[in-house]
Amino acid sequence: MNFEGTTTVVTGAANGIGAALSRRFHAAGARVVVADRDAENLKKIESELNALRPDSAFAVVSDISTEAGNVALINAAREKFGFIHLFFANAGVAVGTFLEDTDEATWNMAMDINLHSHRWAAKHLIGDWLAAGEGYFCSTASAAGLLSQIGSATYSVSKHGAVAFAEWMSITYGDRGVRVTCLCPQGVNTNMLNPPGRDDGIDKRGGEVVKASGAVLEPHEVADIVHDTIVAEKFLVMPHAEVHTYEQRKVADRDRWLAGMRKLQNRIFQG
């Protein structure tokens, strides 16, 4: 993958990992369509990138929690820059806690944004990609999609689904020119891990579990690793090496791993 002269779409681009990805892909020579619901920060990203290279960034205020929102974003990107070479479904939410405390609306929000938005985007991109014999679908899942998120059923299930969908995309279309990369970070210094004084509907002790499990990286560090993985056309981006160790332990002895996760949960939630 060579970003020079390509068109890349990044959702959740107004802050955190999405903003860092947009800057990194732009620095590599891509035209970048930045999408988010946060119009104010999104416009700042657009202005910043266009100041570096005129008419190379385009902001689309989007709600990707519906199929129509994804279609509108894809159409706007095509109208502005033409063929979409790479689509990065990065937007995500951390909402919901335990079964007894999480309502249907919260489940639907988590599944729509963290999982269904990926399939809606892919559904409306795949025709062009197969016709051209090329295209790149990227998604942000989470280490929780490989392991689990203590304290949030909705996050765990939706992120597992995101990994599974990315794997399915690679299996189904990988021999037809469509490449797939899935990002599974653990702790990253973003608003999701460190909410700026607001209640996002997730037990904040879940964030403490993440911080206790390994290093907290900066978004630009993750973006550099993602860029290099896409250039190499590899499937999995695992910025935290310890996640690979945890996953190996899970596969080697699942019962022991589950017992260890319960022990960690007790230490955080009861300690």
Task: Tell me phi and psi for residue 135, to 5 degrees.
Answer: 160, 155
User: Residue 269 has what pLDDT?
Assistant: 81
Running DSSP on this structure, what letter comes out for residue 215?
P
pLDDT band at 201 (very low <50, low <70, confident <90, very high): very low
Q: How many CB atoms lie within 10 A of CB 154?
A: 25
- On the question of pLDDT at 191 being above 90, the answer is no
Residues with Cβ within 8 Å of 247's Cβ and at least 6 positions away in sequence, in order, are 146, 147
User: Residue 200 has what pLDDT?
Assistant: 46
Identify which has the larger pLDDT, 254 or 188: 254
Helix (H, G, I), strand (E, B) or coil at 8: strand
- On the question of pLDDT at 62 being above 80, the answer is yes
How far, in whole angstroms, is CA 22 from its chain's centroid? Answer: 13
Identify which has the larger pLDDT, 190 or 208: 190
- On the question of pLDDT at 77 being above 60, the answer is yes
Running DSSP on this structure, what letter comes out for residue 89?
E
User: Residue 197 has what pLDDT?
Assistant: 57
Average pLDDT score, the chain: 93
Q: In the chain, helix, strand, coil percent, each to 5?
A: 55, 15, 30
Q: How many CB atoms lie within 10 A of CB 212?
A: 12
User: Residue 216 has what pLDDT?
Assistant: 83
| Among 26-40, 66-80, 198-212, 237-251, the least confident range | 198-212
Q: Whole-prediction pTM value?
A: 0.92
User: Residue 259 has what pLDDT?
Assistant: 97
pLDDT band at 270 (very low <50, low <70, confident <90, very high): confident
Burial class (CB in 10 A: 0-12, 13-18, 19+), 89: buried
User: Residue 209 has what pLDDT?
Assistant: 62
User: Residue 219 has what pLDDT?
Assistant: 94
Residues with Cβ within 8 Å of 53's Cβ and at least 6 positions away in sequence, in order, are 26
- On the question of pLDDT at 31 being above 90, the answer is yes
**Could you tell me if 217 and 241 are in contact, meaning their C-beta atoms sit under 8 angstroms apart?**
no
Q: Where are the beta strands (DSSP E) in the chain?
A: 7-11, 31-36, 57-61, 86-89, 135-140, 178-183, 187-188, 216-217, 236-237
179 DSSP β-pair partners = 136
pLDDT in tens, 108-123: 999 999 999 999 999 9
CA–CA separation, 29 vs 130, rounded Å? 24
- On the question of pLDDT at 240 being above 70, the answer is yes
State the fold for domain 7-241.
Rossmann fold (3.40.50)
CA–CA separation, 130 vs 58, rounded Å? 25
* Annotated domain spans of the chain: 7-241
CA–CA separation, 97 vs 95, rounded Å? 7
CA–CA separation, 257 vs 202, rounded Å? 24
User: Residue 213 has what pLDDT?
Assistant: 61
